[in-house]
């Protein structure tokens, strides 16, 4: 079952990236190459992909993923402007440091998605993930050393959506 889901998901991504329908006809070589590569990926890498494969076939999780993508995009743009402001400001108002962020997420997929979301947001970088579900994050402008306040500033905006998708 897991291999089938990953085969289908890989093939859909292949089609979206190559788009063999450019002139109204299907480029058969590209489609066949996509089938072959997707089969190889599904067979070779199914063990390292998330075991929570049910997330890919749930319509509600897909809905929350698209909502989360728009929320993430908003915070990413906002953080870009913040970093540009700090870099161009004559006094360079930064206070870099590493803070501890506590999360309620339990699944590996959810923790990975949260860590990647934090890292992809400019001004923050996930440095470490501990066994108790805490993240250490390098923050360009530390506003609080308190774990709860740092969690509210960095992770809470993503965590609720990620829990809806992966938990």
- What lies within 8 Å, CB to CB, of 56 at 6+ separation is 5, 9
Cβ atoms 162, 113 nearer than 8 A: yes
Q: What confidence score (pLDDT) does residue 74 get?
A: 93
Q: What confidence score (pLDDT) does residue 145 get?
A: 81
Q: List, as one string, the DSSP characters of 107-127.
A: SHHHHHHHHHHHHHSTTEEEE
Longest dimension (CA), the chain: 59
User: Which tokens is 131 given?
Assistant: 């066994």
Q: What confidence score (pLDDT) does residue 73 get?
A: 92
DSSP 3-state of 19: coil
CA distances to 54, 69, 98 from 9, in Å: 12, 18, 36
Q: What confidence score (pLDDT) does residue 53 get?
A: 56
- What lies within 8 Å, CB to CB, of 76 at 6+ separation is 120, 121, 122
Residue from 101, 114, 102, 100 nearest 163 by CA: 114
pLDDT class for 127, splitting at 50, 70, 90? very high
Could you report the per-residue pLDDT of 84-100, keeping only the tens digit for each?
A: 998 898 888 888 899 98
Q: What confidence score (pLDDT) does residue 57 get?
A: 66
The answer to whether residue 129 scores a pLDDT higher than 60 is yes
Could you report the per-residue pLDDT of 30-84, keeping only the tens digit for each?
A: 888 888 998 988 888 767 666 655 555 678 888 888 899 999 999 999 999 988 9
pLDDT class for 15, splitting at 50, 70, 90? confident
pTM over 0.85: no
């Amino acid at each position: 079952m897991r291999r089938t889901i990953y085969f289908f998901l890989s093939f859909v991504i292949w089609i979206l990236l190559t788009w063999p329908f450019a002139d109204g006809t299907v480029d058969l070589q590209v489609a066949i190459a996509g089938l072959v590569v997707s089969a190889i990926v599904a067979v070779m890498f199914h063990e390292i992909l998330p075991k929570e494969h049910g997330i890919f076939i749930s319509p509600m999780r897909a809905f929350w993923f698209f909502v989360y993508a728009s929320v993430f995009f908003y915070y990413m743009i906002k953080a870009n402007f913040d970093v540009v402001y700090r870099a161009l400001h004559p006094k360079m108002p930064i206070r870099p440091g590493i803070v501890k962020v506590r999360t309620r997420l339990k699944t590996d997929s959810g923790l990975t998605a949260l860590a990647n979301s934090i890292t992809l947001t400019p001004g923050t970088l996930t440095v470490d993930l501990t066994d108790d579900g805490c993240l250490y994050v390098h923050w360009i402008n530390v506003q609080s050393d308190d774990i709860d306040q740092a969690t509210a500033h960095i992770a809470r905006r993503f965590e609720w959506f990620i829990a809806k998708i992966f938990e």
